[in-house]
């Protein structure tokens, strides 16, 4: 009988201690202020394009060889840009005026439109000559 009580009581005590520890960690995380970043500086298409074409950008997904390839553009390249250029590894860890996932999606659309416009300009120049 004593073994059964010990078998039940000890895991319950361990569970209760673990819950208190996790609540303390959660409160500590909630108290940490989020850093405010300037969205206009970070989500700038020209800066992204410069970073994308830089051979020393330390990128995983972006390289100059696929610049202007709209079929190769993805949000993973944007997350890579945020991490390598600005140290934003987790977008939720910062204070944004807009939802960060909406910012990334809109930034993707802006980049895609910019690349399409650049391709049109190149196409028009090649037709001239």
Are 92 and 124 part of one and the same domain?
A: yes
pLDDT at 92: 87
Would you give per-residue pLDDT tens digits along the chain (129 residues)? 555 555 566 666 777 677 777 776 665 555 566 778 888 899 999 999 999 989 888 888 887 888 888 888 999 999 999 999 999 999 888 888 889 999 999 999 999 999 999 989 888 887 776
Residue for token pair 């850093």: 35
On whether both 61 and 78 belong to a single domain, the answer is yes
Task: Specify the residue for token string 């700038």.
Answer: 44
C-alpha neighbours within 13 Å on the C-beta side of residue 40: 0
pLDDT at 103: 94
Number of domains in the chain: 2
Whether 121 contacts 127, CB under 8 Å: no
Residue 12 shares a structural domain with residue 58: no
Domain that holds residue 11: 1-32
Q: What was the pLDDT predicted at 62?
A: 82
Q: What is the pLDDT, as a whole number, of residue 95?
A: 87
């Amino acid at each position: 009988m004593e073994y059964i009580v010990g078998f039940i009581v000890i895991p319950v005590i361990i569970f209760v201690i673990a819950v208190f520890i996790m609540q303390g960690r959660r409160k500590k995380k909630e108290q940490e202020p989020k850093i405010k970043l300037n969205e206009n500086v970070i989500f700038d298409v020209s800066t992204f394009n410069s970073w994308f074409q830089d051979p020393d950008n330390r990128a995983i997904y972006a390289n100059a060889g696929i610049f202007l390839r709209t079929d190769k553009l993805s949000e993973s390249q944007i997350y890579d840009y945020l991490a390598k250029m600005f140290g934003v590894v987790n977008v939720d860890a910062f204070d944004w005026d807009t939802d960060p996932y909406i910012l990334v999606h809109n930034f993707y659309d802006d980049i895609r439109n910019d690349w399409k416009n650049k391709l049109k300009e190149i196409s028009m120049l090649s037709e001239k000559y």
